[in-house]
Structure 1
């Protein structure tokens, strides 16, 4: 490892708290452009994560630079807590126009998907007077508060204590489940909602951190029906897979549903702290003053958020994600056809999962291989992480082009083939999840 990178890694270890680190290999980056990240020594890395989708427009997109520069020149304070400013109001109006819904609605603006989901849950509890939240095993909705308590990966991983007011149900996994299992899973959701004491049900249209799992067609429609039958608010978490990434503007559009509340984050801010929840006024207006973040709705983040939404539309990035995602999945399936360690390549748009297994017949997950593959991919010049223990999560910026897609196929395939070169000693400091 070059001295520059080694020095930064040592300084990072001595200065930054471990609770906020999720490291998979000795990655140090100092700049970025488009779909590339650049190390201190000048080596370029193809970014196949987009910082867990937060950099949906890539790095240094001109629209983001222009919006941020303009907003910084004469900012009207630092937030929308106690003052009205045009950029926050306009972003809320943009989201209301963009997100389908019924009746009078409002927009909560926050800093991250975590607080957007937390506020949505708390408002649902207050509005309905019901005490229970229903969520899915292996889900991820945030790293704090009620959103953390409703995240299966945190509760099941031991970083959040189980709550008697959160009921977890099974998320369908077509690669490993059959139709009978799906019917049983729907019955389990129905049973969790049957007491009519659940204020809300949180669902990811694609289960991201739990293994990039794409549910069967019609799943969200079935969930929406069960929620409607029991008067349960349906919260659709689009933080990671929404805003063009699945090949449609909204991931929930795949099943033609209209959730009660939709939450956004990550790519909405293009790397700046910005999130949103869009839902009924009767839910999000009360209790007044109960979700106070001083710099929420700040002029820099909201200006960038507006630029992101305009860019997704004007550059046709949902359609681009559909085309490039199809090319990437097809390329991976063809290149990996002879690799028995690849159980499945799945996804929608540019939300793609490569399921690594000990063998295709058993479909047994292979976390050890996943850890080696992402490390090897970094050595070969790409940034990709794993989720669910064994699934490569491939979520490049929405601006990725054909040549970069083809390069991604080459690197990932070679990383899977040669993952055995990575030793236990190399992996020891990088536990990942």
Structure 2
């Protein structure tokens, strides 16, 4: 539908009058009025809706929830194949991470959690309190959290990309050595913190430190798991096996569903301490089973790796092209179809340029592509895993044109003023 269609304009105006601002993160006047999903997922949802087996797993169980938990245990590797593991089924990454954190604290009797600056693990409760991006924006920090810098090779906190991992691990060891840390929670690729791909050895170093000091390693795969990075799990890029893995977003195929997979000691006790009426409902579980069938097939994961490489290559070619906005690209990075484009005032001084980034996102929307600013000056690119090579080429062309246009003044401050983003 046209972006100037009267119905869309009216919908956006109605939205502004009735939807709570606390749940809005808007960068341009986007309204989705229709769409097409994966036929296998849609069929699974329709069949489950016709004959749903109950409404949840709160006071009983049903086949789809048990089957989904079994599938997840088979899909997510175990550190100890002989140890019992469990699956928590929830609604969103927020509650999956909240349950994982509370479970690790209960299992160890320890209060501290090590997390990372500019990390994101959820929008409520303990998950929000250990999310560096929220705390930096003014949210209340969890009483037991200790934030560490996330290793960024483009903007190393040490001033030297070669030393960032060693420095972070040294800080982590200092916290773990006190014996009060229940868990380290980490994104294998920091999304809202700027699409930062950690250097080799980072996750393995955290794994070794957790083992040495009796803490759990929670890897948050909510945003980047299930094939998006070109691997089934993003932590596979660094060849580690976490204690607890959290999943969400793609898991439900568009429906609210999340999961935490980890040791029984973490997810069994205290009994009935994470209750929500519709968790594990049969319709969401049916969708997830269809999603996992696609993941097992592997075609979407391979496509994410191939299309991601193409998109990154085309953006790098634009950055080297000499076009009007090319010198405003400081870095292009990512894994699979989770990519970031860092925009700067100029390549020589690499000063972050959040205003330009907001204008590029707005202009890209006008031209027909969706890209979200994160960490102020990074464009987050997370297209559907089924994107085609032709669509990748078109997306790269739109983004290049949007950067050129924004860099040469085609988007005014007034146009982006209503969209505050983060």
Give the TM-score band, short-chain normalised.
over 0.9
Q: How does 1:80-99 map to 2 (within 5 A)?
A: 80-99=57-76
Consecutive unaligned residues of structure 2, counting only runs of 5 or more, are none
Q: Distance in 1 between matches of 2:352 and 2:168?
A: 21
Where does residue 219 of structure 1 map in the other structure?
Answer: 202
Where does residue 147 of structure 1 map in the other structure?
Answer: 127
Tell me the secondary structure at the aligned position of residue 32 of structure 2.
coil
Root mean square deviation of aligned Cα: 1.0
- Give, in angstroms, the shift of residue 292 of structure 1: 0.5
Which of 159, 165, 170 is residue 149 of structure 2 equivalent to? 170
> Contact 1:357 / 1:363 at 8 angstroms: preserved in 2?
yes
- Give, in angstroms, the shift of residue 122 of structure 1: 0.5
> Contact 1:245 / 1:398 at 8 angstroms: preserved in 2?
yes
TM-score (norm 2): 0.95
Where does residue 362 of structure 1 map in the other structure?
Answer: 349
- Give, in angstroms, the shift of residue 161 of structure 1: 1.1
| Deviation per residue, 1:151-179 (Å, 9 max, x gap) | 00111110x21343110011000112221
Where does residue 264 of structure 1 map in the other structure?
Answer: 247
Q: How does 1:29-68 map to 2 (within 5 A)?
A: 29-33=32-36, 60-68=37-45
> Contact 2:12 / 2:31 at 8 angstroms: preserved in 1?
yes
> Contact 2:165 / 2:202 at 8 angstroms: preserved in 1?
no
Q: How does 1:305-316 map to 2 (within 5 A)?
A: 305-314=288-297, 316=299
Tell me the secondary structure at the aligned position of residue 261 of structure 2.
strand
Where does residue 112 of structure 1 map in the other structure?
Answer: 92
Where does residue 22 of structure 1 map in the other structure?
Answer: 25
> Contact 1:206 / 1:241 at 8 angstroms: preserved in 2?
yes
Higher relative contact order (CA 8 A, sep 6+): 1
Where does residue 392 of structure 1 map in the other structure?
Answer: 379
Tell me the secondary structure at the aligned position of residue 77 of structure 2.
coil
Where does residue 54 of structure 1 map in the other structure?
Answer: none
- Give, in angstroms, the shift of residue 182 of structure 1: 3.1
> Contact 2:331 / 2:342 at 8 angstroms: preserved in 1?
yes
> Contact 1:170 / 1:188 at 8 angstroms: preserved in 2?
no
Moved more, 192-201 or 91-100: 192-201
Which of 394, 405, 410 is residue 421 of structure 1 equivalent to? 410
Q: Distance in 2 between matches of 1:9 and 1:245?
A: 30
Tell me the secondary structure at the aligned position of residue 341 of structure 2.
strand
- Give, in angstroms, the shift of residue 319 of structure 1: 1.1
Where does residue 199 of structure 1 map in the other structure?
Answer: 182
Q: Distance in 2 between matches of 1:228 and 1:151?
A: 23
Q: Distance in 1 between matches of 2:145 and 2:298?
A: 41
Q: Distance in 2 between matches of 1:312 and 1:185?
A: 33
| Deviation per residue, 1:107-141 (Å, 9 max, x gap) | 00000000000000011110100011110000000
Where in structure 1 do 4 or more consecutive aligned residues deviate above 3 Å?
A: none
Consecutive unaligned residues of structure 1, counting only runs of 5 or more, are 34-59
